[in-house]
Structures are given as C-alpha cells and as structure tokens.
C-alpha cells in the first residue's frame, strides 16, 4: 500500500467527479458536499465506466405508488445498464449482499504534508499552498 496524490481538492467541485489513474487502475473520484469518495471506474456487472454515470438520489418505497426520495447526489447509476451504487460505500441496490463496486478512501491532505511525504505524486506537481486528494492503494 502506498499513498498517491491524484488531484488538487479544487479540481473537483461539490457534485463533481474526476477520473484518475492510480497504479494503472482507473478510479472515479466524487465530491459529495465537500467529502471525497473513490470508486473503481468499472461496473461489477459488465465493466461500464462508472465515472460517466448519472448521479442521482435513492428511491425507496414501502408501498406501491409511494416514492421516498433521499440522499440526493449520493447514488450513481452505471451509464451502461442503470445499476445503482452507493457512492459512499460502493454497495449496489439490486443485490447489496453480493454485488458492490470497489471503493477507495480518499483523504484530503495539506500541501505541507504532501511535500513532506511519503506520498507518490505521479503526475501532480505539489505546492504547500494547495490541498490535495490522496488515494491509498
């Protein structure tokens, strides 16, 4: 395991996302209300590019005709077949016990700590003034 600096925090505004590569793996990073979450950019179903999916909310229902909409912006639908995933945990909604997408914790680190290391800043030039997104892998 090593820690990889993948982007500056400013690059991904709230509600935004960015596709980065970490050790050759495509990771989709999402900004949910200032918190960052990483997800393998490969749907566990057939490999769809998750980063291109529709971000939506969670629909639940106790009875036919009732729609309870919550967690707006926290659910990702794969662009290929519409399977829903919890951006925070990678868990699917169609089969939560068996199907999940790999999730990666994303840490926000100050420029000062990043400059001091030990981080791998593959393509990102770092400076102490910025905040950086760090993925451990």
Partner 1 sequence: MAGVPAGAIDCDIHPSVPSVAALMPYLEDHWREQVTIRGIDELNSISYPLNSPLTCRPDWRPATGRPAASIEMVRAQALDPFATSIAIANCLYGIQLLFSEDMAAAFARAVNDWMAREWLDREPRLRASIVVPIQNAEMAVDEINRCAADKRFVQVLLLVMGDTPLGRRHHWPIYAAAEKHGLAIGIHAGSAYHNPPTPVGWPSYYTEDYVGQAQAFQTQLTSLICEGVFTKFPNLKVVMLESGFTWLPAHLWRLTKYWRGLRMEIPWVDRAPGDIVRSNVRFSLQPVDGPPDQASLLKLFDHMQSDDLLLFSTDYPHNQFAGLSAMPDGLPPALVRKIAIENPRATYARLLETVQ
Residues that bind partner 1 (CB under 8 A): 45, 56, 59-68, 77, 81-84, 93-95
- Count the Cβ atoms, other than its own, within 10 Å of residue 79: 14
Q: Which is nearer to partner 1, 83 or 119 (by Cβ)?
A: 83
Residue 2 DSSP class? -
Residue 48 CB, shortest distance to partner 1, in Å, is: 11
3-state helix, strand, coil in the chain (%, to 5): 10, 45, 45
- Dist CA 33 CA 20 (whole Å): 20
Residue (38 or 53) nearer to partner 1, CB? 53
CB 67 → partner 1: shortest distance, Å? 6
- At closest approach, how far in Å is the CB of 94 from partner 1? 4
Q: Which is nearer to partner 1, 69 or 116 (CB)?
A: 69
Distance CA 1, CA 81 (A): 33
């Amino acid at each position: 395991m090593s820690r990889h600096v993948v982007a500056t925090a400013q690059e991904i505004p709230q509600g935004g996302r960015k596709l980065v590569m970490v050790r050759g793996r495509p990771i989709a990073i999402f900004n949910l209300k200032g918190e960052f979450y990483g997800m393998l950019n490969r749907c566990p179903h057939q490999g769809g590019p998750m980063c291109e999916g529709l971000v939506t909310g969670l629909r639940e229902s106790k009875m036919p005709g009732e729609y309870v909409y919550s967690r707006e912006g926290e659910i990702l639908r794969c662009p290929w077949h519409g399977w829903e995933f919890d951006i925070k945990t990678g868990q699917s909604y169609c089969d939560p016990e068996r199907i999940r997408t790999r999730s990666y914790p994303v840490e926000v680190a100050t420029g000062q700590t990043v400059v001091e290391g030990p981080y791998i800043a593959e393509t990102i030039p770092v400076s102490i003034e910025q905040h950086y997104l760090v993925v451990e892998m």
